[in-house]
Structure 1
């Protein structure tokens, strides 16, 4: 690698002003807006990088000490590293450069499902906006045909050393290299599509398996389904949180399905058969003569399939007997005759029925 001082055409004792003047002179000659020659464009990049290093006092000092071409010395070792082990001072001498590739972040999405979907479980396609590995550089961060370059400030170590005078003598400590941010390499030609990050934002569609019997608020973890990591790092995980939508007819009690059935008074007195449309088809219902409001008809095995297993809960139907509000003269007379013949007892208070359908009673009270 060419010496930065030679690239700018200055001596190693050049002052900051001399370095700046040399850079400006070369920039006027080599800038792509002035000189269309591709070779000039590459040299302009070298000139700019050399100026970036030598114009920063700390980077220049490290470059001079770090064994660059014509450098004044090598890496400090020995007592300084021992001191650092006990007293700290940034990165340890053996830490080396840090990895550019990192694990991607976890992601969380919420999926709304209908009550029908959890009777047997189902599959849903969900589109998410997330970070994916760049399709141009495949996570290398570099423009195709190029590769990372060893940092010429820390020479690939990822750390720079600083010498400090102390009571113990000259102490050398390690600190992250400011030129490469501790990676040990730089990206001279970043990928134009991901700007050197190795990943881009994109939408992707995934298939989500909705388990039977899932509850609202339950989460599922898909390992590796989260965001792609920088520089080709592994994906994070994707967490899916389910929300069960409200159903106008059916509610849920564990694996049981609950509903109410409005029955005409005459059907309750005489008994009848009918059918209702459940979440998985028609269900025949036998209403016995003399049925009362809040009685429960249980249909075995027509509820929700358990989350871990093949058995199903029950369908439980609470009866609500409807009393007619308007009767014509003939109907009223017939009811009167029925009352006289059966001689029902006078209305009186009875014991409160504490049953398993306290949830459904709220529906009765609402009308």
Structure 2
């Protein structure tokens, strides 16, 4: 298949466009992420198409001379484009054989995602078993009777006796499954990597760790590993809700505190914070604190923090608290037109007017 068509590109695509198209398709078709049985072969085709096109752009044949239609300024401009794409910040050396990128999922807590820091990621590699050199079999020091045919070299089937396939009809075996790899021919050593998480990482973000991906092909001793691409999944939190970069939470508070106002503590992913409540009514209200949400990245502003305060009335009043509440209620009743206007209006209507004469 034509490399341009395979990568979804038009003829004459720049190195930057080629790299971008390959990365997008590699995320979809890499065997580590795509369980489709055809993913391995399709990824190899994508990689081959990428290498063909990028090599043609960055290393054109030396014996190709500009045609008469090409002016010297046009030739220089094309060369400058190639150099710009090659150093576009991807830290990619296209002239060196490179292993495939590896993709892993990482679940982050709200705290780690908001504040950033370093987390440990365990990556399981796939290597050829050195004990059996990838064959999955090891040679026995002494021959053994075949356990399938019990040394006869024959197995009984629907068509009578047939040669035993496990010992090739010999009745004995000289090899067995490799004890180091269980007969798979592969080992799966684990690597622990320290991954730096930028403050303000969101669900769906990707973090690229250079040279921590798959190793280069075995026939390329001078090659370099690919990159490890970590896909961030933000774990749900029992308290916080994220809307874009704005952080929302609900905080129960005494109805009396809502009335009189004052300082109140609020938990945040990065620690506790004191906020000021203005005096008001004992009704639910939302306080907005600019810039106290998720940190912005790549020039984006920080999100805001929205705290919904829900009033809670006291209950299970005991003998110690009851006299104080009685005293408070007495003071409120004396000034009910000011403190309890709804009560004052109701009482004036239904209690302050004498009943009509009979």
- TM-score over 0.5 for the pair: no
Q: TM-score range by the shorter chain?
A: 0.3 to 0.5
Of structures 1 and 2, the larger Rg is shown by 1
Normalising by structure 1, report the TM-score: 0.43
